[in-house]
Amino acid sequence: MTHHNAKVLLKVSDLQVGYGGIQAVKGVSFEVRQGELVSLIGSNGAGKTTTMNAITGLLPLGGGQIALAGQNIAGQGPWNLVQQGLAMVPEGRGVFTRMTILENLQMGAYLRDDNAAIADDIERVFSTFPRLKERRDQLAGTLSGGEQQMLAMGRALMSRPQMLLLDEPSMGLSPIMVDKIFEVIREVSAQGVTILLVEQNASRALQIADRGYVMESGVITLSGPAQDLLHDPKVRAAYLGA
């Protein structure tokens, strides 16, 4: 899909992030337009997760700007960002293990008071993730890794975000679960949610994305339509094992 005319929802300009004396992100700039699915790919240690953590305020910026719909959001932290329509599914999922699946989903809607709509959204999450529906009264800690990933995504969607940040959603999942998670990401994108996907599985990420950025050693080295990157010899050699 082309989103050339859509407004820029997330704009990261000259982002610099250092911690522990290491400059992990060195002047990174990229944008995500409304309705797009954009993938940030690169090997482990390239700075992808650091970039995500800077966007969501978990790490302080050394320099640069982060804007959501034209508003500066640098350093605000996840709670404030959810109010502005930005939800994140962190690496390692972060579900509330001692709450049931249903309670986790209700927590995702904590900023809302439209109870009928919340109930509708819970049903929508359950139709997207039938496995969660069957286990709705089970404690989240008893779920498999893949089911916890689904729950974390479902919970993030309960805030009705304009934009969803996904950090390594396929990490540590079985091949069948990886297929399911990518199917769901595509489905959520088709429902109009703007997505920034950070993913080590470059070929899968580029197959579903509109555009991609390649990150190496804290800088962006390539960017373009996802299909172009998928067929780029440099990308294939480095990330697609071809």
What is this structure's pTM? 0.91
- 161 CB burial (10 A radius; 0-12, 13-18, 19+): buried
Q: Provide the 3-class DSSP secondary structure of residue 59.
A: coil
How is residue 62 annotated by DSSP?
Answer: S
Q: Does the pLDDT at position 226 exceed 80?
A: yes
Architecture of domain 8-239: 3-Layer(aba) Sandwich (3.40)
pLDDT: is 32 or 45 the higher one? 32
Between strands 71-72 and 63-68, the pairing is antiparallel
**Neighbour tally for 114: CB within 10 Å:** 11
CA pair distance 174, 75, nearest whole angstrom: 35
CA pair distance 109, 118, nearest whole angstrom: 7
Contact 194, 34 (CB under 8 A): yes
E strand or H helix at 72: strand 71-72
Tell me the pLDDT band of 241, cut-offs 50, 70 and 90. low
What percent of the chain is modeled with pLDDT above 70?
97
* pLDDT for the residue numbered 112: 82
Determine phi and psi for 130, rounding to 5 degrees.
-55, -30
CA pair distance 81, 78, nearest whole angstrom: 5
For the chain, give the longest Cα–Cα distance.
51
Between strands 22-33 and 37-41, the pairing is unpaired
- Tell me the per-residue pLDDT of 98-152, one tens digit each, with 9 for 90 and over: 999 999 999 988 878 888 899 999 999 999 899 999 999 999 999 998 899 999 9
